[in-house]
Structure 1
Amino acid sequence: MTNKYSAAALLLFASFASAQAQDAAKIANKVVGKDGQPELVQFSAEGKAALRGLSGDQVLRQHLTLSNADQMVQRAADTDQLGMVHQRFAQYYQGIRVEHADYLVHSKAGTVESINGDFEKISGLSVTPSVSEKAALGQALNKVGAKKYMWQTGEANAEAYRPTGELVIVRDARVENGPQVLAWKFNVYAAAPISRAYVYVNAHTGDVVLTDNIIKHAAATGTFATAYSGTRSFADGTTTGGYYLRETTRGLGIQTFNCKKSNSYTSATDFIDADNSWTEYNNANFDNVAGDAHVGAQATYDYWKNVHGRNSFDNAGAIIKSYVHFDDVPGGAGYENAYWDGVRMTYGDGATRFRPLTALDVCGHEIGHAVCEKTANLTYSNESGAMNEGLSDIWGASIEAYAVGTLGFTSGGVKAKSTWLIGEEIDKQQAALRSMSDPKSLGQPAYYKGQYWYTGTADNGGVHTNSGVLNHWYYILAVGKSGTNEGGGAYTVTGVGLDAAAKITYRMESVYMTASSTYSQARTYAIQAATDLYGAGSAQVTAVTNAWFAVGVGAAAGGGGGGTVTYCTSKGTSVAYEYLDYVALGTLARTSGADAGYYNGTALTAPTITGGTSQTVTVSAGFVGTAYSEYVKVYIDYNKNGVFTDAGELVVNAAASSVATNRSFAFTVPTSAKNGTTRMRVVLSDNSATTSCGSYSYGETEDYTVNITGATPLTGEPTTLTGTTARAEVRSLSLYPNPATDVLNLTLSDNATISSVAVYDLRGARVEGATFADGTLRIGSLAKGMYTLTVSDGEKVYHQRFVKE
């Protein structure tokens, strides 16, 4: 009997291993996000053949492991210049739209090539509101706090602006990686002071959880720059009394109006000239800026049409309307702003900070927001908002360069045009608003989470500051640059030219990005866009990859064909007070003094850690004098891709406390890790914001090699092609938010039932007081600190750490 069962077990194992190999063969490449969900899946020839004949939503249902509560609804489909069809699907949960969660299916000749996007795993969320629409609107208006709203102006059609609520599911943006909540969504347009935003109100608590600006300004103090382009010829039209600034040769038209220093659009009038020479408009009232707005809109349309084959901002020829001489306070001191409100361009005349804001790069920037809204629709906060702003700067610079180089525009204002300066011609107080070639010269970061990176909540999470990283990446990609980045990494990028850089960036934005995209995802999508356009291993792909490394996002190119992985640098700039003096894991045990902020121990004998097992890493700090509280972070590059930012690779994230004596931390090696040697990074810092890359003030980083064995990664997705059979699935535990204050949301990757939950402190003692029900662990009664969570599905136990704030 023993031999019989052993043989049966061997046959079963062989069958399962064969199924694994077959499924793995269907996936050529897969990128998994921090939430454990795939961000990009590229199919092999075998995988494409298996998907032939399936619709886009069927492919997503298979490879995202959708539950019966999940729906993916197609909302757009486009065919690009390469002949590829891109279907964009919106996610719904129990019939409710999941905001900012889109997934794309990319096909060629009827065959699915790849899928990418953001899928939110949701379970147990009530979609019945506890707060009425009326009460939620009151909360939204309290949040905006305007003196007057557009529906209160008394103008014609003003009532059309009165907001109505839509029930959606959205992430609570008040905390990083906050939970998905049911919310009322309102489009609130304020007249005094001017603002327009989607305001989301939690439909169960009444809290405002997110404000996503529709009106997007180019600077915190106002908006964007103005420039003057000398004597230009432009298309206009005829009307009673002469000529006016309207033309119909581009799309459905370009129209420019005069607000006459008021805040009313309906009372705005046409600019009219009797002989079509417009010379009298060069007057003390700066009426000549109407010409800047008009030719700026024309040049912007021409750029999108001639360079990217896009017919106006919506790719359907939409009218571009511009309103100049706008003042939010009629007859006031001057409006120092310009914006796109989803319908039109609005330009103020400036005052103490700016000259009139009808600049060419301002126009290109603001209409760039309209293009983003119609493509990636990046949420206007934090990293996605910073890239929303960065993309608009990219298009402002590119359009200005196109207008000068191709359309013959000249510099006619006080300052000359400069491609890599944003708002240079209108800024009265400094060189420009922003510099793409040298962001730090104007207070922006040139390196991801490096110097000048903003971590607060103002300006929607620093969207006009942290955009500098994307700006500088684009400059390096187009022009090229060599040097050493803030993380200490040496790089050399051969520029691909402005035309290729723009085509890669536009494809990244329009084909691959989704509303919640991060800098890390932008890197993945830019590399894929370059691969689509120029081929795998091309000089353009290498330049894209190395430009991202230069600004601190991901590793440098590995040299093609499986070259050596290059890691970003990490270093403490001072060890005058604290440093790492002991690191131990398995057979590794190193005692040391200060190592000048960084020690490379990768040549030491690597300890072996086994997939699926619990391991313990021990760390202590040496101090010069006083023993301070320190943060400890340990990273392991489980998938060996050269970065530590993938899901689960931050294996220790210890809150500040004394580490003058040994502190031990337990973690579990995932079975999805890749076998073989990889890098472990240990970071000791007095700053909680310190990450795996870059320099920081006080502390030390040490790198080591670890050897992973026994892992059995599944590179294919669970699949039920016939609807009758399925292979075994490796489950994973997800929890958010982390750190948390009151509640943790727990889910298993296939929506399996959680049978038991236990919480342990760092000593391994079980902690009472946390209660679990319906996917939610309530931790409000726990003391602040780090805990280990043990979750069971009745068959397997999962371990994960969390921090109670």
Structure 2
Amino acid sequence: MRKQYSAAALLMLGTLASTTAQAQDAMRIQNKIIGPDNQPEMVVFNAAGKASYKAADAAVVLRQELGLTTEDQMLSVRTEADQLGFTHQKFSQYYKGVKVEHASYSVHAKGGAVESISGDFEKITALNTTPSLNEAAALAQALASVGARKYMWQNAAEEAGLKRQENNAKATYAPKGELVIVRDTRRGENGPMVLAWKFNVYASQPISRANIYVDARSGEVVLKDDIIKHAAATGTFATAYSGSRSLANSTATGGYSLREGTTRGLGIETYNAKKGNSYTAAVDFIDADNNWTAAEYNNANFDNVAGDAHFGAQATYDYWKNVHARNSYDNAGAKIKSYVHFDDTPGDGVGYENAFWNGTVMTYGDGATRFRPLTSMDVVAHEIGHAVCEKTAGLVYSNESGAMNEGFSDIWGAAVEAYSVASLGAVSSGVKAKSTWLIGEEIDKVQVALRSMSDPNSLNQPAYYKGLKWYTGTGDNGGVHTNSGVLNYWFYLVSAGKTGTDEKGVAYSVAGLGITNAAKIAYRTESVYLTSSATYASARTASITAAKDLFGAGSAAEQSVTNAWAAVGVGAKYTPPAAIVYCASKGTSVAYEWIDYVKLGTLARTSAADAGYYNGTALAAPSIGAGTSQTINFSAGYAGTAYTEYWEVYIDYNQNGVFTDAGELVVSGSSASAATLAATFTVPTTAKTGNTRMRLVMSDASATTSCNSYNYGETEDYTVNITGGAAIAGVSGGTINGLTGNASLIGNEAARTLEVYPNPATDAVRIVLPGNAEATMVTVTDLRGARVSTTTFSNGTLNVSSLARGMYTLTVSDGQKTFHQRLVKQ
């Protein structure tokens, strides 16, 4: 049945209103990545874009940036929050109410403002969405293309087992057709979009499961997207591969079973398929005293591998939870069920040489001539990695997206194996030792391993995009187990680092980040930015963005990720961005006052006048942690009279070269004191990690901003190093000696602020004392210090119409305190 959605359920996103809107939109964009189909794959917004696009404006953002028509709709699928403070709202694309397979777009927001959007949008025009082939006929074509001897829905026991598992009396393995729009991949990765029937076909003999897409007009199968990813062979009790392990399990009739309760999500369970292919016929492994010894289980039946599957699932769950804060493969605590001793053709005397995730459970064969039982740690983590991919990027299992599907599973195989050795004390107890950068090394009887991440070529995989050993045929879904070598080698380079020469003779140098940091980047790439039809080029963009999110723009991580892609033939090396040029700010004269002291953390500088501007950005940068309270000290130097000075301190928290973003004016106030002043401010948790500029401005004019040439005073610039941050959002005003907000600066005495306005003046100026106290004396002196007698003061107003143009000093007293302020007569 064709799915129908009401108008209320769909986000109807129309066309751009006008070229004016386009121009305004362009002003909001910092960077836009255009894919090979001439559609945007990622749009990053600048400060103006963030200010105008709120998280609630997701529909508006997509409408404007993707140029959607009234026939295009976006349906919100889910919204997730991450540890960096981002929210990610994911949308599926529909055309005339029909879902466009593998087309989705995400809106990434932080602090309520949209930071960027990314995804895959398919531009579709004039496509007929009425099928000429009915569901039954299309299903017949799908089944003919599979050609299985038996299907899961034909097994009554399996159907009953599914109903129990799903707690749904209507649950069935029988395929149900759904009308979708999908790309005809028979004509290449950029083939035409067609209307198709989609069926989930699960065969039991021989074993296979895939989404089959049948053209709703011609009846041809245009795409097969495997759900069971045959690893072509991938892949502790006294386990076969990881020594004697302590396993969480539970009591059962007759002893203890390999069923953990709910300490890890909804549980981890391991079953014995008894060399059969039926999940419902599988039984528990039972041990009478819960001491699963080698004498009992290291037998001709390889029963010790049940411990490997169970320990591997627990270790994999722990890895995802402890390293990536992910609760099982679906991030919702899904139960991890594993079946060992599986055989696709029972009774033939040949063990099953494979392992797979079938969309619901993990399945492991005992191997035969090529492999030992396929339950080594990296194989277990690899298969669960396929489940993670299905619940995140959903990478289509063919060509480049399929190669990356396999590559990410190898990445998780390596990462979990390294974690189990380092954190869980897993030892190597099999025929061969564990090796992080080899995949399936413990199970392979014929060669050193299935794949090498550190040297893909050695095991017939490419280490370079479309280079040596790159597969160009149609077998293995377009070489998914071969061309995954490019992603594997990229991950190895980012983790371990290396200097060398690529296949084109170009030198490269990649600084290693360690496997944990590299894995964090890979996970954010897969879970946040990649879409199901991703290519290596889009993965490059996604991973660079992930590195920036996690470690900051221009960070060692961004450089390493970028240079590693260049080393494997995808994109150019890292090029440092053009140096940020800040606006000029300088006092014209320091004849009367200047900044003579600045202190923040490890920065402490005393100075005389610096000609109106001092560039201290080359000095050692003090570190200020995101989310911490900081105290800054500073003082003015005076040639004589201590005039009222206006102080401002700015920090470019988002490192975009301006001080005008929200919260970047961190201190503001005034004082006529020569004593050391103190102010406190809080660094926002969202400030961007890394070095940035801090600017102090001291001016005699209250209107002076971060970018001014002003008459009297001085500007000083310094570098500060922000740690533990991310990117800019709002920030509240600082606290100045205990007063919240932009209060008056206070030194070692009470506040002394005199307001004189306008200044410069032509005829009259208004004088306001602190607390609106009454002025008992007002005198005016010229530059020579001579008193001027031609001015008059009455009711708070000083008449200066008789003064010649120039600069004067006002001395005002309330009978207790005396204030000095410079006055300019125009």
TM-score bin (small chain) = 0.5 to 0.7
d(CA) in 1 for partners of 2:204 and 2:281?
15
- The one-letter amino acid paired with 1:50 is S
- Going from structure 1 to structure 2, the CA distance change for 1:415 and 1:94 (only over 3 Å counts) comes to same
d(CA) in 2 for partners of 1:194 and 1:53?
45
d(CA) in 1 for partners of 2:278 and 2:234?
19
For residue 170 of structure 1, the aligned residue among 173, 182, 186 is: 182
1:479 Cα shift? 0.3
Match of 1:97 in 2: 99
d(CA) in 2 for partners of 1:17 and 1:530?
35
- The one-letter amino acid paired with 1:102 is S
For residue 286 of structure 2, the aligned residue among 272, 276, 294 is: 272
Alignment of 1:247-326 (within 5 A): 247-248=260-261, 249-279=263-293, 280-326=296-342
- The one-letter amino acid paired with 2:217 is H
| Gap regions ≥5 residues in structure 1 | 1-15, 564-805
Match of 1:363 in 2: 380
Alignment of 1:681-700 (within 5 A): none
1:54 Cα shift? 4.2
Q: Quick check: 1:227–1:292 contact (8 Å CA) kept in 2?
A: yes
SS in 1 for 2:308: helix
- 1:394 paired to 2:411: yes
Q: Quick check: 1:163–1:188 contact (8 Å CA) kept in 2?
A: yes
d(CA) in 2 for partners of 1:399 and 1:20?
47
- Going from structure 1 to structure 2, the CA distance change for 1:285 and 1:19 (only over 3 Å counts) comes to closer
* Aligned-pair identity (%): 68
1:53 Cα shift? 6.4
Bigger CA radius of gyration: 2
Q: Quick check: 2:240–2:298 contact (8 Å CA) kept in 1?
A: no
- The one-letter amino acid paired with 1:49 is A
Match of 1:535 in 2: 552
1:562 Cα shift? 6.7
For residues 386-437 of structure 1, the C-alpha deviation after alignment (integer angstroms, 9 at most, x for no partner) is: 0000000000000000000111000010000000000000000000000000
Alignment of 1:60-99 (within 5 A): 60-99=62-101
For residue 45 of structure 1, the aligned residue among 44, 47, 51 is: 47
d(CA) in 2 for partners of 1:562 and 1:413?
55
Match of 2:134 in 1: 132
Q: Quick check: 2:103–2:122 contact (8 Å CA) kept in 1?
A: yes
Higher RCO structure (Cα 8 Å, ≥6 apart): 1
For residue 498 of structure 1, the aligned residue among 512, 515, 520 is: 515
Match of 2:256 in 1: 243
Q: Quick check: 1:70–1:94 contact (8 Å CA) kept in 2?
A: yes
Q: Quick check: 1:227–1:360 contact (8 Å CA) kept in 2?
A: no
- Going from structure 1 to structure 2, the CA distance change for 1:156 and 1:397 (only over 3 Å counts) comes to closer
Match of 1:213 in 2: 226
d(CA) in 1 for partners of 2:118 and 2:21?
24
For residues 445-495 of structure 1, the C-alpha deviation after alignment (integer angstroms, 9 at most, x for no partner) is: 000000010011100000000000000000000000111111221110110
d(CA) in 2 for partners of 1:38 and 1:205?
31
SS in 2 for 1:475: helix
1:18 Cα shift? 9.1
Match of 1:384 in 2: 401
d(CA) in 1 for partners of 2:307 and 2:517?
31
Q: Quick check: 1:223–1:336 contact (8 Å CA) kept in 2?
A: no
1:227 Cα shift? 6.5
SS in 1 for 2:157: coil
Q: Quick check: 1:227–1:361 contact (8 Å CA) kept in 2?
A: no
Match of 1:423 in 2: 440
- Going from structure 1 to structure 2, the CA distance change for 1:163 and 1:477 (only over 3 Å counts) comes to same
Between 376-385 and 47-56, report the one with greater CA deviation.
47-56
For residues 626-675 of structure 1, the C-alpha deviation after alignment (integer angstroms, 9 at most, x for no partner) is: xxxxxxxxxxxxxxxxxxxxxxxxxxxxxxxxxxxxxxxxxxxxxxxxxx
1:23 Cα shift? 3.8
d(CA) in 2 for partners of 1:496 and 1:256?
36
1:153 Cα shift? 2.2
1:559 Cα shift? 3.0
Q: Quick check: 1:531–1:541 contact (8 Å CA) kept in 2?
A: yes
d(CA) in 1 for partners of 2:25 and 2:289?
72
SS in 1 for 2:140: helix
- The one-letter amino acid paired with 2:219 is G
Q: Quick check: 1:227–1:426 contact (8 Å CA) kept in 2?
A: no
d(CA) in 2 for partners of 1:294 and 1:20?
56
1:47 Cα shift? 1.1
Q: Quick check: 2:438–2:451 contact (8 Å CA) kept in 1?
A: yes
- Going from structure 1 to structure 2, the CA distance change for 1:239 and 1:497 (only over 3 Å counts) comes to same
Match of 1:201 in 2: 214
- Going from structure 1 to structure 2, the CA distance change for 1:185 and 1:63 (only over 3 Å counts) comes to same
- The one-letter amino acid paired with 2:153 is W
For residue 482 of structure 1, the aligned residue among 499, 507, 517 is: 499
- Provide TM-score, normalisation by structure 1: 0.67
Q: Quick check: 1:289–1:356 contact (8 Å CA) kept in 2?
A: yes
- The one-letter amino acid paired with 1:178 is G
SS in 1 for 2:428: coil
- The one-letter amino acid paired with 1:276 is N
Match of 1:440 in 2: 457
- The one-letter amino acid paired with 1:264 is S
Q: Quick check: 1:57–1:73 contact (8 Å CA) kept in 2?
A: no
Q: Quick check: 1:508–1:522 contact (8 Å CA) kept in 2?
A: yes
Between 445-454 and 274-283, report the one with greater CA deviation.
274-283
SS in 2 for 1:160: coil
- Provide TM-score, normalisation by structure 2: 0.65
Q: Quick check: 1:323–1:345 contact (8 Å CA) kept in 2?
A: yes
d(CA) in 1 for partners of 2:539 and 2:185?
20
1:21 Cα shift? 6.5
d(CA) in 1 for partners of 2:193 and 2:20?
38
d(CA) in 1 for partners of 2:28 and 2:366?
58
Q: Quick check: 2:234–2:439 contact (8 Å CA) kept in 1?
A: no
1:134 Cα shift? 0.7
Q: Quick check: 2:452–2:458 contact (8 Å CA) kept in 1?
A: yes
1:77 Cα shift? 1.1
1:302 Cα shift? 0.2
For residues 372-395 of structure 1, the C-alpha deviation after alignment (integer angstroms, 9 at most, x for no partner) is: 000000000000000000000000
1:283 Cα shift? 1.4
d(CA) in 1 for partners of 2:316 and 2:230?
18
- The one-letter amino acid paired with 1:76 is R
- The one-letter amino acid paired with 2:36 is K
d(CA) in 2 for partners of 1:35 and 1:51?
26
1:151 Cα shift? 1.1
SS in 2 for 1:157: helix
